[in-house]
């Protein structure tokens, strides 16, 4: 039963973090920044937050710097919204998974546009 409660708490933390990031006024954070996943420890003392940006890894790294500076505010908001006894220590990590998936989507689109036809090398007849 504790697994269900822990999973639900992790999802609640992720949902509220997304909402807090959406409400932040800093232009380096607002917009195309997304939380890919979170890893919350069993005792709720630490939380790794993986963030990604459509603008690339540089934008994600810049956002991580901003989020580290604002971690006190974010922790306070998190405790207030979720009525937690203790706020987890937030560790923000830049992730390039959104950019990677966009590259894969672009490659698949190119393959689909070419009709999926295998082209014969010249002079193979």
Q: Residue 26: left if φ>0, alpha if ψ -120 to 50, beta else—which one?
A: beta
Domains in the chain (CATH in brackets) are 2-113 (3.30.300.20)
DSSP state of 95: -
Instruction: Report the C-alpha dihedral over residues 33, 34, 36, 38, rounded to 10 degrees.
Output: 100
What was the pLDDT predicted at 1? 39
Please say whether the beta carbons of 20 and 80 come within 8 A. no
Global pTM?
A: 0.75
Instruction: Using the predicted structure, report yes or no on whether residue 18 has a pLDDT greater than 80.
Output: yes
The 10s digit of each residue's pLDDT in 62-109 is: 889 999 999 999 999 999 999 888 889 999 999 887 777 778 888 989
């Amino acid at each position: 039963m504790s697994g269900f409660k822990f999973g639900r708490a992790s999802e609640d933390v992720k949902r509220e973090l997304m909402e807090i990031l959406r409400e932040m006024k800093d232009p380096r954070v607002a917009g195309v920044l997304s939380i890919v996943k979170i890893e919350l420890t069993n005792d709720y003392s630490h939380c790794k937050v993986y963030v990604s940006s459509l603008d690339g890894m540089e934008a994600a790294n810049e956002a991580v710097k901003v989020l580290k500076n604002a971690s006190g505010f974010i922790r306070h908001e998190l405790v207030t919204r979720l009525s937690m006894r203790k706020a987890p220590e937030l560790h923000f990590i830049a992730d390039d998974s959104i950019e990677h998936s966009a590259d894969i989507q672009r490659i698949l689109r190119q393959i689909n546009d070419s009709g999926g036809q295998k082209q014969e090398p010249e002079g193979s007849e």
